[in-house]
Structure 1
């Protein structure tokens, strides 16, 4: 995963200390009840498209950017699905981070899925009833995106 320049600049000042980051996740659903997934290059697991906001970037614009950067699929945001603070984590280099994640339901507007950057090994559409194993949090994102209730889920402790 390529580390944005603004994070590298922050790390020069704060070292490996915990960094609070705005994260974004997408549940991209097509008209055939399929979900868009990427197989991550860093750990080989399948996941929903995700990323972080650049300084000054709006969340809905950022997730559309991330979807295209990772999958070559153009998408539009339908709604905010879920808001939650994820547990702190540490990267192999010692950097500590904690994400406030905004999950959006999106739909494709064009493009053919393909690996479009160095962050993914594979990209594809998968049936909602038969897709690769995902992290339980991502399964919750999909479940929330499929609900008729348009209000986002706010996770509580």
Structure 2
């Protein structure tokens, strides 16, 4: 889907100024312990699955929706892996955003991994010890999801 309509409406009046937005990352694992990844159409890079919740949408519901919309896989949320405010990012069109990411570990329960929208070039399951090249954002989240630890947050106060 790309940029949600409600963000486009905000941008119509806010211009390119910095917006602080919620973001949800879904780390989906199958019964073999493989993680679901998508190769993004905008960058050509492999990435974890994620998106922006719609107004009023719960983070777990967003994770389930984004996974299905992008990959055709049905999943159920299991636990929050981490909560982190990311550094500000400027997109090629000049839009500035800063996301507070909630990463949720999910379990695949059905569907078949496939490109299911225009945001992905490829979709696939990967063994965690044979991942394609990923941005540190994804690598860190996958590592945290594999740990049996409480939710990670930046301890800097």
Please indicate, yes or no, whether the TM-score normalized by the shorter chain is above 0.5: yes
Tell me the equivalent position of 2:44: 44
Tell me the equivalent position of 1:123: 123
Write out aligned runs for 1:100-115 (5 A): 100-115=100-115
Tell which deviates more after alignment, 36-45 or 139-148.
Answer: 139-148
- 4+ residue runs over 3 A deviation: none
In the superposition, the TM-score normalised over structure 2's length comes to: 0.96
Tell me the equivalent position of 1:154: 153
Tell me the equivalent position of 1:54: 54
Write out aligned runs for 1:53-72 (5 A): 53-72=53-72
Distance 1:137 1:17 in 2: 24
Distance 1:152 1:103 in 2: 9
Write out aligned runs for 1:19-98 (5 A): 19-98=19-98
**How large is the RMSD of aligned CA atoms in angstroms?**
1.0
- Give the drift of 1:66: 0.2
- Give the drift of 1:64: 0.3
Q: Specify every segment of 5 or more residues in structure 1 that has no aligned partner in the other structure, as ranges.
A: none
**Equivalent residue of 1:69, what SS?**
helix
In the superposition, the TM-score normalised over structure 1's length comes to: 0.96
